[in-house]
Structure 1
Amino acid sequence: MADLFDSPSQSGDMPEGPAHRPLADVLRPASLSEVIGQHQVLGPEGSLRVMLDAGALGSIIFWGPPGVGKTTIARLLAQETDLHFVQISAIFTGVPDLRKVFEAAKQRRKIGQGTLLFVDEIHRFNKAQQDSFLPHMEDGTILLVGATTENPSFELNAAVLSRSQVMVLERLSPDELELMAQRAEAVLERELPLIPSARAALIEMADGDGRAFLNLVEQAMAWRVAKPLEIEDLRARLMRRAANYDKSGDGHYNLISALHKSVRGSDPDAALYWFSRMLEGGEDPRFLARRLTRMAVEDIGLADPQAQAFCLQSWQTYERLGSPEGELALSQAVIYLALAPKSNANYVAYKAARRLAASSGSAPPPKHILNAPTSLMKDQGYGDGYAYDHDQEDAFSGQNYFPDGMKRPEFYAPVERGFERDLKKRVEYFAKLRRERQR
């Protein structure tokens, strides 16, 4: 992966012809202090800076999106700690290659030279390959620095994680990308041929990816124009970088979580935004339809019994219309759910009932509510004393329907919102009658 970030101290025009170097390579930083961004890691109180100042650098997993400096920081770490830098990619490295890497590190260690092994895309190694690092991490043969765009909690072995510190690297802010642009202009000794609003649009196109931004800057610098370009001219020449969204990775789970919580929080605008972000990222609308239906059941429930039917109808409309018109029906469901009264009373009651069912073993129902189709069962008392509710004045007998000896639980506690207001009144009414008739 190409590295990024530099300071004007490494100035010089980009050579042309066969020896041309990409701008990202020309702007390679000379020290950690020159890296743009990641203050939470590299600042005076940052986790990595604290480790370095204490002389206690251990194995590290850098977790963050593409183009935020994972490779660069690892390379500079080796430089700052006088370790031999070795870089491999989990995509192209097999077990035989790892053995060679470990053997070379052992030989260096014999002559007093440590090795910083940088593993890009470390999450792509399987469990056995990840386990192969452990003995060499423990005996000091290597200092492991891994880079991953995926959540280490899910993708890396617990043993590797327990021997490493996870450091989160963040997308670069617009201000940090602007600083990068200024450094590029200082190195190339000319300004970007863009008016201020187009310059801001160029930064937005990079979507927080420093490497992608430098590629955009390099393209813009190569244009020969009579005057700075407007936004429309810029967009005609450059394509917006595709949003970072992996339908099977963190992007998927983060955005669906944002959508779900925005609906739960009754914010239709935020819900529509995250819904649209997922569609822009290429998410299957059927997945969204399924998740919306789940929200109706889990977070709205009986506060609005129509919510579930509304979601199913929207889902069916999508199937009939297809894309892109069908997504509009799903967006209606998003708005409906966000504005619907919320209750998780059914969800809580269901979970509590499942827990009690799992813990109460095989306790049989009370005999008075068992059918007695045979004389033997009648002799055993099946059905004795059963009160047929429809024969009661108010169609309510108040009998016990739980196993004999079990203290009556209360699972369902409706809220004072939406239709559950009426259900709450019914629950309280039947509870009152039950107390009266069981005296």
Structure 2
Amino acid sequence: MADLFGAPETAMVGATGPRPLADRLRPKTLAEVIGQQHVLGPDAPLGTMLANNALSSLIFWGPPGVGKTTIARLLAHETDLHFVQISAIFTGVPDLRKVFEAAKHRRANGQGTLLFVDEIHRFNKAQQDGFLPHMEDGTILLVGATTENPSFELNAAVLSRAQVLVLERLSKDDLGQLVARAEAELGRTLPLTDAARAALLEMADGDGRALLNLVEQVGSWRVEAPLDTDALTKRLMRRAAQYDKSGDGHYNLISALHKSVRGSDPDAALYWFARMIEAGEDPRFLGRRLTRMAVEDIGLADPQAQSVCLQGWETYERLGSPEGELALAQAVVYLALAPKSNAVYVAYKAARNAARKTGSTPPPKHILNAPTSLMEDQGYGAGYAYDHDAEDGFSGQNYFPDGMDRTRFYDPVERGFERDLAKRVAYFDKLRTKRGG
């Protein structure tokens, strides 16, 4: 064995060559799995299924490196099912037929099959439908793994026959346990200061497999003294944050940004904005979404908010990255601190609903133009009161269809500029009542 900070004298070598650390540390029982106790604990879904010998088809939904494959393999071992693993990326319909046929033979001989399908969301609708008869007759017990939201990516028929279990990113405590287990396997302590050790956990970003790969690299270094954080970050690249610009992570982060703005928290809003920028999001998309927030959540409480967003968006187009991103960041802070109102948003939805219900009901004739004598004979424009000629520039006439009750759609809030608009609404209501409108 090497000294504390030297390279190990020998590497673990299998029958075909060296074995990666992640493979050597693969748990042999479910009890050895680090993390996911909300799924594996005695009172958790999988713990309850195993205790009652009633394992059902499952969909594991979670980020990479949290144990989806390992848990599936151990489930097969602990239930005496034959384990078959395929990837939706490399498996076609002919391959699936062979898998199902082999499973039928095993079933005829008294053994069940746990079919683990990695990246199951990559299968199209027809391929997913192909699992259904084999799930229903017991030929296979399906365990699918996906990093994407099953609600969007999997058929309703598959979801109705499987229980979705959400696997979570490993916590810092989980990752710390994993490092300790790795050091025991290596027979040495990593040559890191406490701060650098904490930085190593941050680099893994909740991914156990990524952490073990980092640990294996650090464990091979020959150094004279423990490395500090700066030395570590010079030698190692941080794992890229999980982010798919068309996937679930994308929508989760934009939702977090939107709700932080709506909740008037500029610091949280800036954090989620920065997370998306760091992950490679297109700033133009953020400019568009910020403008939507201005019209949906701030509205007429601060009419300037929309202009701030459009100006920030235009500034980015002129400056590009990274300078132009600061203009968008300013818009984020402005929106978060602006007075909030969704009164127009609510009014618009209510007006759309009323429009659907009333169908093609025509406007009242007195507000229709009469460019021809025939239309004039039909009463178009008759009795129209020109508001500029009325007292206070307000006639109080009815502009809704005949037979439709007057409806209040817009109800301004007592915040920001809408305070003034509320006074105007009340003023015209008063005049309308006075003039019998």
Check whether TM > 0.5: yes
Equivalent position SS for 1:166 = strand
Task: Pick closer, same or farther for the CA change 1:413–1:402 going to 2, 3 Å.
Answer: same
Among 196, 203, 208, which residue is 1:205 paired with? 203
User: What is the CA-CA distance between 1:54 and the residue it aligns to?
Assistant: 1.7
Alignment of 1:117-156 (within 5 A): 117-156=115-154
Report the equivalent of 1:61. 59
1:155-186 Cα shifts (integer Å, max 9, x gaps):
00000000000000000001100000111111
Separation in 2, partners of 1:43, 1:78: 17
Alignment of 1:304-383 (within 5 A): 304-383=302-381
* Correspondence 1:109 to 2:107: yes
Report the equivalent of 1:5. none
Separation in 1, partners of 2:240, 2:130: 36
Separation in 1, partners of 2:109, 2:223: 57
Report the equivalent of 2:24. 26
User: What is the CA-CA distance between 1:18 and the residue it aligns to?
Assistant: 5.9
User: What is the CA-CA distance between 1:319 and the residue it aligns to?
Assistant: 0.7
Q: CA RMSD in A?
A: 1.2
The letter for the 2-side match of 1:323 is: S
* Correspondence 1:222 to 2:223: no
Report the equivalent of 1:82. 80
Contact 2:283 2:325 in 1 (8 A): yes
Separation in 2, partners of 1:196, 1:163: 47
Where in structure 1 are there 5+ consecutive unaligned residues?
1-11
The letter for the 2-side match of 1:416 is: E
Separation in 1, partners of 2:397, 2:46: 66
Contact 1:119 1:144 in 2 (8 A): yes
Task: Pick closer, same or farther for the CA change 1:211–1:245 going to 2, 3 Å.
Answer: same
Equivalent position SS for 2:361 = coil
Contact 2:13 2:19 in 1 (8 A): yes
Separation in 2, partners of 1:196, 1:315: 43
Equivalent position SS for 2:410 = coil
Equivalent position SS for 2:84 = strand
Equivalent position SS for 2:395 = coil
Where in structure 2 are there 5+ consecutive unaligned residues?
1-9
1:252-272 Cα shifts (integer Å, max 9, x gaps):
000000000000000000000
* Identical aligned residues as a percent: 79
Report the equivalent of 1:411. 409
User: What is the CA-CA distance between 1:212 and the residue it aligns to?
Assistant: 0.1
1:131-177 Cα shifts (integer Å, max 9, x gaps):
00000000000000000000000000000000000000000001100
Separation in 2, partners of 1:221, 1:65: 26
User: What is the CA-CA distance between 1:15 and the residue it aligns to?
Assistant: 3.0
Contact 1:255 1:274 in 2 (8 A): yes
Separation in 1, partners of 2:380, 2:405: 22
Q: Normalization by structure 1: what TM-score?
A: 0.96
Contact 1:13 1:187 in 2 (8 A): no
Separation in 1, partners of 2:68, 2:280: 27
Separation in 2, partners of 1:402, 1:126: 50
1:361-397 Cα shifts (integer Å, max 9, x gaps):
1100001111111111111111111111001110111
The letter for the 2-side match of 1:186 is: A
Task: Pick closer, same or farther for the CA change 1:58–1:16 going to 2, 3 Å.
Answer: closer
Among 292, 309, 333, which residue is 1:294 paired with? 292
The letter for the 2-side match of 1:50 is: T
Separation in 2, partners of 1:437, 1:60: 68
User: What is the CA-CA distance between 1:44 and the residue it aligns to?
Assistant: 1.6
Separation in 1, partners of 2:397, 2:197: 75
The letter for the 1-side match of 2:204 is: A
Separation in 2, partners of 1:220, 1:124: 35
User: What is the CA-CA distance between 1:16 and the residue it aligns to?
Assistant: 8.3
Contact 2:11 2:18 in 1 (8 A): no
Separation in 2, partners of 1:229, 1:95: 52
Report the equivalent of 2:191. 193
Equivalent position SS for 1:394 = helix
Once the two structures are overlaid, the 10-residue window that deviates more, 426-435 or 296-305, is: 426-435
1:15-70 Cα shifts (integer Å, max 9, x gaps):
38962100000001111011000011001211111111122111000000000000
Among 415, 427, 431, which residue is 2:425 paired with? 427
Report the equivalent of 2:3. none
Report the equivalent of 1:389. 387
Equivalent position SS for 1:288 = helix
Aligned residues: 428
Once the two structures are overlaid, the 10-residue window that deviates more, 293-302 or 16-25, is: 16-25
Separation in 2, partners of 1:320, 1:13: 55
Equivalent position SS for 2:391 = coil
Equivalent position SS for 2:346 = helix
Report the equivalent of 2:276. 278
Alignment of 1:6-25 (within 5 A): 14-15=12-13, 19-25=17-23
User: What is the CA-CA distance between 1:14 and the residue it aligns to?
Assistant: 2.4
Among 90, 93, 99, which residue is 1:92 paired with? 90
The letter for the 2-side match of 1:75 is: R
